[in-house]
Amino acid sequence: MGELVVGIDVGTTKICTLVGEVRAEDIYVVGVGVEPARGMKKGVVNDVSALTAAISSSVHKAERSSGYEIGRAFVSVAGAHIDSKNSKGVVGINSPRGVQISDLERAMDAARAIALPHNREVLHVIPRCYTLDGQEGVRSPLGMHGFRLEVEAHIVMAASSSLQNLEKCVEGAGVYVDRFILNPLASGDVVLTDAEREMGVMVVDIGGGTTDLAIFIDGTVWHTAVISVGGWHLTNDIAQGLHLPYEIAEAVKVEYGHADPKDIDPTEMFIVQPFGEEQMSQVKRVDLAQIIFDRTEELFQLVLKEAKYSAYDGLLSAGIVLTGGSAQLPGIKQVASEVLKMPVRVAQPERLSGMADQLRNPAYSTSVGLLRLGLIMDQEDERRGRNGGSYRPGNGLPGIGSRGPRGKGPNIGKLFGTVMKRLLPEDDE
Ligand SMILES: Nc1ncnc2c1ncn2[C@@H]1O[C@H](COP(=O)(O)OP(=O)(O)OP(=O)(O)O)[C@@H](O)[C@H]1O
Ligand SMILES: [Mg+2]
């Protein structure tokens, strides 16, 4: 049996718990538990007991499917309370052996020492690149000689109370939060290629309650943001525009929805039963597409605004990668490329083994990414703790620091974030 990792993707639409076994370079999915979300709105908790029950149910399903008892997990986080900025840290080097891991740590600590407003905390500190004695763009300064080391780091911040509420729900379900991981970092890990990360790309994960963004340039993370608009808003617009109950509007969106009215035959109709009507009525599919287009176009305007705000919009040579459940909407790619004027592709988790069929869907990019990125973060922490190995921004993943445990629970990070014992005897597999 390999090492074990567990991720809980706490979305606005679904809670997805995955159990993975680390085999060679691969993570083999051995357990899946998906439960419709309750108690979440726009990526934040709005009903502790409902969300705790939903997480508990998702975790139990994953336990039954994997045969393991889940004790701790990496947990996704999003919501409008997320904020990010770039920061510099400078330290002097005085070792005759050149830059040591402890120097990198000191530089990162200096970058991390930003004035935090009340009720905010640092979620991730990600090294972007280093400058050594004025030489810019150093990727891995370990062992290099110099006197003045400067790190540029990307810092992701979150509201402490939002994290505490989420932590309370996960712990209420009997699972210790090993670390929180920002949604678009997890999605980006799964859907982006190394070449895209090098050239400059933005991953846009359009979920139910939020749209999560991350910009990768030169192989590492340069900007992250969360927009509080997602598929829920599309369904809500359809419900209002066509006078339908929310559930019917959701079914209509999935069955007949299209984001680009230009692609729809103006004579095509479908039948629904609006509120207060006894008779079914006919609706033009192009009218449905217009409602979806209006909101989708507005969403991509917000994405563009965020890209411009980051000031990196001109550096996205590899364009946009759309993922998340709402990326399944036909026509969404055209709308995105028209608004953003960049190449766009839609992506889902691909490099998967084990119980993977259900997960090959854009809705599961964050869920799968939690396992992989959580593992990488733990391995990196362990390497740094051991004072060995290479510490580098690399492809943007190794070297990602994270908010550690809140001082509760056993310190067992060596087990890759998961403490589990077998429920079933070996031969029951
Ligand atoms: N075929 C489809 N066409 C259009 N939208 C779809 C389709 N399938 C799912 N969706 C939408 O995807 C959304 C859910 O996506 P996802 O599972 O990524 O959300 P989530 O992770 O739970 O939410 P969030 O990340 O925003 O908290 C829902 O709004 C749903 O209506
Ligand atoms: Mg999501």
What residue ranges define each of the domains in the chain, with the CATH number in brackets? 83-158 (3.30.1490.110), 193-346 (3.30.420.40)
Write down the pTM of the prediction.
0.89
Q: Which ligand number lies closest to the CA of residue 36?
A: 1
What's the confidence (pLDDT) of residue 384? 66
What's the confidence (pLDDT) of residue 393? 32
Strands (E), 98-241: 120-132, 135-138, 148-159, 176-182, 201-206, 211-217, 220-227
- Give the residue from 60, 57, 56, 51 showing the smallest Cα distance to 31: 60
What's the confidence (pLDDT) of residue 294? 98
Q: How far apart are CA 43 and CA 208, in angstroms?
A: 9
What's the confidence (pLDDT) of residue 46? 93
What rounded mean pLDDT belongs to the chain? 87
What's the confidence (pLDDT) of residue 390? 28
Nearest CA owner, ligand 1 atom 4? 329
In short, whether 329's Cβ falls inside 6 Å of ligand 1 is yes
Nearest CA owner, ligand 1 atom 6? 326
Q: Which ligand number lies closest to the CA of residue 207?
A: 1
* pLDDT tens, residue by residue, 378-404: 887 777 653 332 222 333 333 333 344
What's the confidence (pLDDT) of residue 274? 82
**Polymer length in residues for the chain:** 429
* pLDDT tens, residue by residue, 61-114: 999 999 999 999 999 999 999 999 999 999 999 888 999 988 998 999 999 998
Q: How far is the CA of 363 from the centre of ligand 1 (A)?
A: 6
Residue segments in the chain with a per-residue pLDDT below the cut of 70? 1, 384-429
Nearest CA owner, ligand 1 atom 25? 207
Q: Is 303 exposed, middle or buried (0-12, 13-18, 19+ CB in 10 A)?
A: buried
